[in-house]
């Protein structure tokens, strides 16, 4: 029999008979490893323990300690076990597909009766029974005709359609979990008993069109989550519970910040409270940009397609643009324009006005640019994912030898802002060239090398994010982690040699000749809308005092205190505090409850004693105890709290 060589992670290689399986390899190493093994990686591919290896390869055997591989297998096997459970309870149900997704899986079913939330409990119970049976998981490779006949005989039309869509040279793997069978690429565990029965949960039911096509059958999708242990499941469920409490859409209603409606999909109606947060944040960013040496500009919303064609956006980004056609007077054809999805081509137009010298560089240009991008309706999510938004956008026009210093300066600039806004730490991802891009490989080589070198010179070793660069250049992505462990990609910094070339941007160098500037695209917060959503969820609505839209409510305990309430409000406003009076004929506990739901940071209660002593009873959001203080001291303290961090 032919021999093959398998190389292990430690660099050692051993000879085996061709056709050996990873399970046999594990057994040859030790009995203990054979029992613990769940899968292998063979030549960088995740490999089922039952699959034969026919040629020289690298190999690593995995156990449940290998989180990435273990989670993939657990979630994939549970998708099959759930489908088996559904068909055992409701035999007429037809199965379709059940892929692994982040933190879990889903499976789509065709069933006449709708699943109910109560059904999830019955399915979970049946799944536990299947896991406890420790049924063997086995796999076979079938010929296409045999597989089609099998599913035709078993009245599984969706599986027949799937097989017909699989390329002819791809093997058809059939997996059995006990007596239940499914078409699947694998890999899978070796028996159902390897699944952690206490570390999964069925979460929800949703509708889904077959193959995402609205003209096809509407199926029922069941979602589940799973982890390698019950503590991890518990932590995940706690995170989801916290996320629900912090949902910016819910808090936006309670705090009366904004609303959205069908007549303007993906667009935000900012209420006075929400617009206060927006403008406070914008004013803060404007001050920071001035300190950072930026000049602020403003550019048109509607721009002729010719500019987008010249910049490359018309070819690379048109599907995300809103097109506007206008019957121009005396024109033979309609003028085709687009709402700007980004600001960069317009900033180049400003740079191109007048002659620029090397002495003008770096030129840092900033705009609170209002942009519009088409997002599918299913992708819209509150104010986090919208069609109309404003970026704290900026473009730095510089020479090649200034890339490193400008990148380091921007990272310092961004770090201070994130710290002021409550985010002490962030991670950085380096996104290199995408498949669809403008510019030659030589230009991309230069841009990627320059950005990576500049980032490392700033003391940061970024995580590689392959293929996720912009179509015109590589980028850094700055990722914040919030209070409950979720990651949010916010700031970006991109090196672009392409757009200045396409739009003919030049400056006069020290040698008297024309040179192309490098264009550094940068955003700190990203979109204001999304960042405000992140802030709301990070702080669970309890925004930092200087950002809170309603900072203080002065509430009367008795109507005799109404005049003093107005006096207190006037003093606070004079000191720069956003204060309002509540002199309604309601009990103080009712007022406190209502304003606490609205996330007002400070409530000052005023009654007979406070009027006589010129004091206020101070209650802070989240605290049960009140503290009586003089009006003078409270006013001074709150005036400091109301001052933005950069002005302290």
Query: Which domains are seen in the chain, by residue range?
Result: 3-63 (3.10.20.30), 69-243 (3.30.980.10), 259-534 (3.30.930.10), 552-647 (3.40.50.800)
Cis, peptide link before residue 211, omega less than 30° from 0: no
What 3-state DSSP class applies to 631? helix
Higher pLDDT among residues 625 and 576, named by residue: 576
Secondary element (H or E) of residue 288: helix 272-291
Where do the H-state alpha helices sit in 463-511?
A: 498-502
- Assign 275 a pLDDT band (cuts: 50, 70, 90): very high
Query: Parallel, antiparallel, or unpaired for β 487-496 and 518-527?
Result: antiparallel
| pLDDT higher than 80, residue 554 | yes
Residue 107's pLDDT is 97
DSSP letter for each residue of 363-411: EEEEEEEEEE----GGG-BTTTB-SEEEEEEEEEEE-GGGHHHHHHHHH
pLDDT of residue 377: 86
Nearest residue to 387 (alpha-carbon basis) of 376, 397, 372:
372
Average pLDDT over residues 114-133: 96
Tell me the pTM: 0.84
* Residue 439, pLDDT above cutoff 90: no
> What is the number of H-type helices and E-type strands within the chain?
20, 33
**Do 316 and 344 meet the contact criterion of CB atoms below 8 Å apart?**
no
Q: In the predicted model, what is the mean pLDDT of the chain?
A: 94
- What pLDDT score was predicted for residue 233? 96
Angle of helix 230-246 versus helix 528-538 axis, rounded to 10: 120
Q: Among 418-432, 515-529, 542-556, which stretch is predicted with the lowest mean pLDDT?
A: 418-432
**Interhelix angle 67-89/117-133, nearest 10 degrees:** 110
Q: Is the pLDDT of residue 331 over 70?
A: no
Look-up of token digits 């006990």: 178
Task: Give catalytic residues, as residue numbers.
Answer: 344, 373, 391, 393, 395, 475, 521
Distance of CA 420 to CAs 417, 425, 530, 544, 646, Å?
Answer: 5, 11, 18, 10, 8
CA dist 221 and 239 (Å) reads 23
Phi, psi (rounded to 5 degrees) for 600: -75, 125
Mean pLDDT, rounded, for 301-323? 91
Give me the mean pLDDT over the 229-243 stretch.
Answer: 94
Give the residue from 619, 579, 480, 593 showing the smallest Cα distance to 539.
480
Residue range 217-229: average pLDDT? 96
The answer, yes or no, to whether residue 258 has pLDDT greater than 70, is yes
Query: Which of 436-440, 490-494, 505-509, 532-536 comes out lowest in average pLDDT?
Result: 436-440
Q: What does the alpha-carbon distance between residue 374 and residue 324 come to, in Å, rounded to a whole number? A: 13
Check pLDDT > 90 for residue 485: no
Which sign, positive or negative, has the C-alpha torsion 335, 341, 344, 350?
A: positive
**In this predicted structure, what is the pLDDT of residue 306?**
93
pLDDT tens for each residue of 318-330? 899 999 888 776 6
CA distance 23 to 256: 60
Residue 411 scores a pLDDT above 70:
yes
Distance CA(641)–CA(578), nearest Å, equals 11
The first and second tokens of residue 450, run together, are: 């320059």
Q: Is 133 in contact with 192 (CB distance < 8 Å)? A: yes
pLDDT at 330: 65
CA-CA distances (angstroms) from residue 119 to 105, 114, 324, 437?
Answer: 18, 10, 49, 48
Q: Are 270 and 278 spatial neighbours (Cβ–Cβ below 8 Å)?
A: yes
Kindly state the average pLDDT of the residues 380-402.
95
Whether the per-residue pLDDT at 85 is higher than 80: the answer is yes
- Which tokens is 362 given? 């770096």
Q: Taking residues 410-421, report their average pLDDT.
A: 94
């Amino acid at each position: 029999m032919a021999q093959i060589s398998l190389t292990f992670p430690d660099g050692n290689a051993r000879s085996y008979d061709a056709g050996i399986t990873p399970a046999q390899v594990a057994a040859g190493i030790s009995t203990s490893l054979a029992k613990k093994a769940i899968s292998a990686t063979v030549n960088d591919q995740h490999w089922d323990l039952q699959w034969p290896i026919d040629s020289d390869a690298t190999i690593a055997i995995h156990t449940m300690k290998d989180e990435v591989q273990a989670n993939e297998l657990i979630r994939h096997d549970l998708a099959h076990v759930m489908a088996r459970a559904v068909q055992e309870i409701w035999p007429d149900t037809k199965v379709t597909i059940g892929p692994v997704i982040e933190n879990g899986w889903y499976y789509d079913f065709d069933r006449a009766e709708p699943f109910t939330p109560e059904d999830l409990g019955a399915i979970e119970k049946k799944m536990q029974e299947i896991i406890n049976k420790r049924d063997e998981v086995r796999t076979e490779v079938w010929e296409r005709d045999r597989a089609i006949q099998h599913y035709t005989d078993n009245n599984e039309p969706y599986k027949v359609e799937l097989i017909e869509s699989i390329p002819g040279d791809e093997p058809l793997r059939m997996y059995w979990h006990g007596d239940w069978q499914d078409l699947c690429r694998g890999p899978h565990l070796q028996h159902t008993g390897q699944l952690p029965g206490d570390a999964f949960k069925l979460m929800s039911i949703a509708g889904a069109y077959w193959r995402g096509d609205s003209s096809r059958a509407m199926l029922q999708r069941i979602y589940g989550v799973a982890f390698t242990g019950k503590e991890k499941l518990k932590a995940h469920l706690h995170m989801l519970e916290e996320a629900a409490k912090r949902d910016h859409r819910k808090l936006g209603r309670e705090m009366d910040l904004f609303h959205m409606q069908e007549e303007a999909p993906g667009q935000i109606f900012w209420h006075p409270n929400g617009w206060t947060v927006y403008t406070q944040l914008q004013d803060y960013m404007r001050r920071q940009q001035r300190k950072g040496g930026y000049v602020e500009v403003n550019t048109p919303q509607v721009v002729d397609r010719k500019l987008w064609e010249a910049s490359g956006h018309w070819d690379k980004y048109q599907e995300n643009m809103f097109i506007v056609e206008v019957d121009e007077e005396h024109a033979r054809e309609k003028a085709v324009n687009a709402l700007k999805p980004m600001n960069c081509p317009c900033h180049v137009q400003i740079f191109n006005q007048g002659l620029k010298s090397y002495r003008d560089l770096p030129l840092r240009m900033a705009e609170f640019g209002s942009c519009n991008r088409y997002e599918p309706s299913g992708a819209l999510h509150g104010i986090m994912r919208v069609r109309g938004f404003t970026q704290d956008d900026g473009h730095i026009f510089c020479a090649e030898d200034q890339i490193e210093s400008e990148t380091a300066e921007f990272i310092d600039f961004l770090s201070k802002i994130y710290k002021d806004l409550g985010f002490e730490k962030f991670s950085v991802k380096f996104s290199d060239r995408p498949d669809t891009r403008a510019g030659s490989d030589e230009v991309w080589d230069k841009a990627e090398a320059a950005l990576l070198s500049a980032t490392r010179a700033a003391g940061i070793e970024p995580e590689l994010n392959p293929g996720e660069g912009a179509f015109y250049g590589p980028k850094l992505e700055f990722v914040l982690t919030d209070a409950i462990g979720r990651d949010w990609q916010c700031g970006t910094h991109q090196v672009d040699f392409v757009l200045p070339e396409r739009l003919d941007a030049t400056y006069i160098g020290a040698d008297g000749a024309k040179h192309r500037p490098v264009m550094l695209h940068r955003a700190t917060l990203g979109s204001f809308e999304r960042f405000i959503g992140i802030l709301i969820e990070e702080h669970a609505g309890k925004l930092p005092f200087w950002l809170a839209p309603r900072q203080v409510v002065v509430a009367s305990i008795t109507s005799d205190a109404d005049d003093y309430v107005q006096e207190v409000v006037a003093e606070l406003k004079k000191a720069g505090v956003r204060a309002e009076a509540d002199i309604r004929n309601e009990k103080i506990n009712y007022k406190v409850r209502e304003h606490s739901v609205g996330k007002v940071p400070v409530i000052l209660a005023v009654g007979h004693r406070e009027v006589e002593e010129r004091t206020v009873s101070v209650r802070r959001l989240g605290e049960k105890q009140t503290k009586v203080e003089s009006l003078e001291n409270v006013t001074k303290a709150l005036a400091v709290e109301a001052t933005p961090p950069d002005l302290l």
